Structure 1
Amino acid sequence: MTIIVFLIDTSASMLQRTYIGGRTTLLDVAKSAVETFVKIRQRSIDSRIDRYMLLTFEESPNNIKAVNGVQEEFNLPMNSPIPGSEMTREPFRWDQRLFALVLRLTGTPAVERDTGLVPSDSSPIDAMCEVTGGRSYCITSHRMLNQCIDSLVQKVQNGVVINFEKLDQIHLPRNVKKRMVKKMEIKKGNITKEMTEADQPMFR
């Protein structure tokens, strides 16, 4: 089951008018984008078990506009004593993605470049999107908006985000560091006389 949450900015800034469709507001464009996304998503067989939520920037609980059911309380165990809990110490689940459509539409038609690539937005939300495995889109035209919606529908897939960190050799035991150096010397073809016969079978 895929849960898709739409978070729409309903502040006063969304009342700015654009050049699209008789100078509609940014809020109208956002509503249309949600409707278009749902229509395209429903063409897929996997959408039969989808669950949708619509949230706004209003005060809780009025910010919840449409929901199939919600947990009354949400506790995030940031300091859990359970072994391995440090691997999930983020304000999001490992299978959640965040994609942001940042509307930068103006009141006059923008000069479009047929590059085929939609740049990421320079706002702080882009960093949060990258952490979850998603990305942000800087929307400057209606054509670009439709392109991003089609791309988002294709990105609705099951998966997890795994972050790998490079192990610092400074904190390794001395015997492990010594063997790593010897292995590097063998790969380069510089086998020294200091290597013992007991170490050689490890790298054959």
Structure 2
Amino acid sequence: MQDSNVQIEKTEILSDNWYVLKKVTFNIRKKDGSFEQQSREAYDRGNGATILLYDKNNGNVILTRQFRLPTFINGNDNGMMIEACAGLLDNDNPEDCIRRETEEETGYKISKVEKIFEAYMSPGSVTEILHFFIAEYSREMKITDGGGLDDEGENIEVLELSFDEALQMIDNGNIKDAKTIMLLQYLRLKNIL
């Protein structure tokens, strides 16, 4: 889908080692009607889905903790991040993806998920759209320990926290992941927990 205000001139692949990094040269219409040529890089890692599991009966949420190299490089002393469960869609639709990722990462087998919104997480440099979900969980849904897939190099710790503790972890800086903050704030704004 092309917009008459943007004309792609050239796309170059800078890297396709892990995901695809492209350099795109384009013309964009300015306010005065003239066109200006610009170049930008865009990282395409595919689209993803994320979910926050919550238990209304005990007021808890399920989060994960895992190492994230980019945060380590940018000042996170041990590189560990507390996050909501998430994963790339690959060839799945968002609902199937998040059910699969939930089971792999947390060990909970859920069937009913509620999609709450979609968001571009870093639109200045990354093409990804993230599909946001919430779902109720109970102890009976726990079928494995979770922890992720060994063949994907995942070493994920599953955390069950009180909702109040999770919110406090945003305030004290222990939770710095944007998708997780958005999901926790959504539960608070909608008075779900």
Q: TM-score range by the shorter chain?
A: under 0.3
Higher strand share: 2
Q: Which structure has the highest helix share of the two?
A: 1
Q: Using structure 2 for the length normalisation, give the TM-score.
A: 0.24
Q: Which of the two has higher C-alpha Rg?
A: 1
Determine which structure has greater relative contact order: mean sequence separation of CA pairs < 8 Å that are 6+ residues apart, divided by chain length.
2
TM-score, structure 1 normalization: 0.24
